Amino acid sequence: MEDCIKQALMEIVGLENFTDDLIELVPYSYDASDHDHRPEVAVWPTSTEQVSNILILANGHLFPVTPRGAGTGLSGGAVPVRGGLIMDLCKMNRIIDIRIADRQVIVEPGVVYADLENALAPHGFFFPPDPSSSSVCTLGGNVATNAGGIRGAKYGTTRDYVLGLEAVLPNGQVIRTGSGCIKSSSGLDLTRLFVGSEGTLGVITEITLKINPKPIETKTSLASFSNLSDAGQSVIEIIHSGILPSVLELLDENTIQVLTEHGKIDLPHAAAMILVETDGYTDAETSFQMDKVIEVLKRNNATDIRIARSAREAKELWKIRKSIGSVAAQLRTHNVSEDVTVPISKIVDLMTGISNIVRHYGLPFVIFGHAGDGNLHPRIMYDRSDPDQVEKLRMAVEEIFKLTCRLGGTLSGEHGIGLAKAPYLSLEHDSMRMNLMRAIKKLFDPNNILNPGKMALSN
Ligand SMILES: Cc1cc2nc3c(=O)[nH]c(=O)nc-3n(C[C@H](O)[C@H](O)[C@H](O)COP(=O)(O)OP(=O)(O)OC[C@H]3O[C@@H](n4cnc5c(N)ncnc54)[C@H](O)[C@@H]3O)c2cc1C
């Protein structure tokens, strides 16, 4: 990047919010995926006006700009694969307004999820998507990836809560979408177009989110099964039972074995487990829901049902689910966590199919996930320094994506496409859909300066 451009950037953001220092650029070379590429400069804008001026400069001089939140993305979305500039939004982190009467909150994109949770707690409200990375990920990143979480079956994903946005287009123009209303049927839904656009259409500089009253009571249980189909049937019948649990997690046989052998967690021998949580505002309400769940679990031959009688016991059950990632990671130097999603009734087919595929390639794996919304997280462990294992991983992942699409599913339920899944996107979307998405990218960003190379939208 020419010195005159660096000088102009310093004038826009100030000396203290610009760097081309190698030591500061290295952490911006990667996110939580397997991809990396170093940017030439990084900036920390503090206002929409600065974001706009940076994009006007980039559009004039044709250098790539990659927006970035906390860099926890699992698909390489924030990796500056074409070099250029990293725009770190972490300093735009004000909670602008909490409007309880309107059931909404207005935030800047760099607000960390957990900070919003803490700010809403005294009002008895919450923002439900709750990704596991909530202690560090930003709301801008959540909107850009349409992040979800463990309570998705009942509460949906980020998309269900974004009422409006302010975004800066690649040519520097500032656009406001949506409205301050809980509902609107007015015009094409530009807000939803930005949600999940992974920084390819505009830089999000302000977000209006719908919020919910926070449930204060929960009930938790864990059931074991001697075969996967009974567990799968339980999931389907729970969904049919007239209540919606806030959590409905499925763990496969490998997960149980890995937790027992490597996590030293005492679990019954089982082919599958289901963790269920019900939530509400009174003990009677959560108990009513949990009774329905237990009825279904018993009817489907659960071999062991543990019901938490206290907050401490509930924490013990949750520990099982929350330990999976760190325990599985011990098996090899690297791991990849996918987030394939199918219609709920196909979850057992997907789990069985993934097991067969990965077993064929001989790599260690666990499969768990949010059965309540059809979203599984197969996690495959491998050693990146071994080309044979890398190739086996690539082939296994490709077969998993093909299987998912055959089952009527989607490549990503919550992590996004980024770089990691870009080569496979056309398995899910036919050429008409791919061409339409690429045409939209071109309309917004004719010079392809904003997060180029992502989502198979541009080079
Ligand atoms: C341990 C761990 C657990 C995780 N658990 C979950 C989970 O439960 N559910 C889930 O959905 N994800 C999960 N993730 C993935 C990740 O946390 C989410 O995708 C999150 O939304 C990314 O937020 P971020 O601030 O880190 O964004 P980044 O990783 O910095 O960016 C993600 C994408 O958003 C774009 N972007 C960021 N900010 C903006 C902006 N202001 N305007 C335009 N584009 C922008 C970037 O260009 C990039 O394409 C997990 C990741 C880790 C490491």
- Cα 452 to ligand 1 centroid, rounded to whole Å: 17
- Cα 210 to ligand 1 centroid, rounded to whole Å: 19
Together in a domain, 200 and 81? no
pLDDT at 61 over 90: yes
Atom of ligand 1 nearest to the CA of 66: 47
Q: Bridge-partner residues for 162, per DSSP? A: 209
- Cα 312 to ligand 1 centroid, rounded to whole Å: 31
Q: What is the pLDDT of residues 322-347, one digit of tens each?
A: 999 899 999 999 999 999 999 999 99
Q: What is the pLDDT of residues 354-389, one digit of tens each?
A: 999 999 999 999 999 999 999 999 999 999 999 999
Question: Nearest to residue 251, comparing CAs of 150, 156, 320?
Answer: 320
pLDDT mean across residues, the chain: 96
Together in a domain, 33 and 158? no
pLDDT at 163 over 90: yes
Is 413 part of any domain?
no
Atom of ligand 1 nearest to the CA of 92: 41
- In terms of residues, how long is the chain? 459
Is 438 part of any domain?
no
Which residue is closest in CA terms to ligand 1's atom 45? 199
Last residue of a domain, one of 213, 242, 260: 213
pLDDT at 276 over 90: yes
* Residue 264 confidence (pLDDT): 86
Together in a domain, 232 and 124? no
Residue with tokens 């001989």: 362
Together in a domain, 228 and 304? yes
- Cα 353 to ligand 1 centroid, rounded to whole Å: 28
Mean pLDDT of 244-267: 93
- Cα 196 to ligand 1 centroid, rounded to whole Å: 10
What confidence tier does 434 reach under pLDDT thresholds 50, 70, 90?
very high
Together in a domain, 242 and 369? yes
- Cα 93 to ligand 1 centroid, rounded to whole Å: 15
3-state secondary structure (DSSP) of residue 422: helix
SS (H, E, C) 132-160: CCCCCCEHHHHHHHCCCCCCHHHHCCHHH
pLDDT at 201 over 90: yes
Using only C-alpha atoms, the chain has a radius of gyration, in whole angstroms, of 23
Mean pLDDT of 398-407: 98
Share of the chain above pLDDT 90, in %: 97
Is 188 part of any domain?
yes
Together in a domain, 195 and 226? no
Is 111 part of any domain?
yes
Give the DSSP H or E segment for 434: helix 431-444
Measured between alpha carbons, how far is 459 from 453 in angstroms, rounded to an integer? 5
CATH of the domain at 176: 3.30.465.10
Atom of ligand 1 nearest to the CA of 89: 41
Contact call for residues 234 and 271 (beta carbons, < 8 A): no
Together in a domain, 373 and 395? yes
Number of domains in the chain: 3
Together in a domain, 264 and 253? yes
Measured between alpha carbons, how far is 182 from 326 in angstroms, rounded to an integer? 39
CATH of the domain at 267: 3.40.462.10
Last residue of a domain, one of 90, 108, 133: 90
Together in a domain, 154 and 245? no
Measured between alpha carbons, how far is 396 from 398 in angstroms, rounded to an integer? 5
Mean pLDDT of 1-30: 97
Share of the chain above pLDDT 70, in %: 100
Measured between alpha carbons, how far is 121 from 311 in angstroms, rounded to an integer? 19
Together in a domain, 71 and 189? no
Q: CB atoms < 10 A from the CB of 134, how many?
A: 19
Give the DSSP H or E segment for 85: strand 85-88
Is 428 part of any domain?
no
Residues with CB under 6 Å of ligand 1 are: 31-32, 66-74, 77-78, 89, 109, 131-133, 137-138, 140-142, 144-145, 147-149, 198-199, 203-204, 414-415, 418, 451
Is 419 part of any domain?
no
Give the DSSP H or E segment for 6: helix 3-13
CA dihedral sign, ordered 154, 156, 160, 162: positive
Is 276 part of any domain?
yes
Measured between alpha carbons, how far is 165 from 143 in angstroms, rounded to an integer? 10
Q: What is the pLDDT of residues 210-228, one digit of tens each?
A: 999 999 999 999 999 999 9
Atom of ligand 1 nearest to the CA of 130: 8
Last residue of a domain, one of 41, 60, 90: 90
Q: What is the pLDDT of residues 91-136, one digit of tens each?
A: 999 999 999 999 999 999 999 999 999 999 999 999 999 999 999 9
Measured between alpha carbons, how far is 1 from 85 in angstroms, rounded to an integer? 9
> In sequence order, which residues have a C-beta less than 8 Å from that of residue 354 and are 6 or more positions away?
340, 365, 367, 376, 378, 400, 403
Is 451 part of any domain?
no
Q: Which of 46, 68, 89, 160 to mutate to test the pocket of ligand 1 (most atoms within 8 A of CB)?
A: 68
Q: CB atoms < 10 A from the CB of 425, how many?
A: 18
Together in a domain, 229 and 202? no
- Cα 32 to ligand 1 centroid, rounded to whole Å: 9
Contact call for residues 9 and 39 (beta carbons, < 8 A): no
Contact call for residues 146 and 373 (beta carbons, < 8 A): no
* Residue 251 confidence (pLDDT): 96
The whole domain housing 284 covers 217-406
Contact call for residues 437 and 429 (beta carbons, < 8 A): yes
> Which ranges of 248-346 does DSSP label H, i.e. alpha helix?
253-262, 283-299, 311-329
pLDDT at 400 over 90: yes
CATH of the domain at 26: 3.30.43.10
Atom of ligand 1 nearest to the CA of 150: 8
Which residue is closest in CA terms to ligand 1's atom 5? 132
Together in a domain, 237 and 276? yes
- Cα 72 to ligand 1 centroid, rounded to whole Å: 5
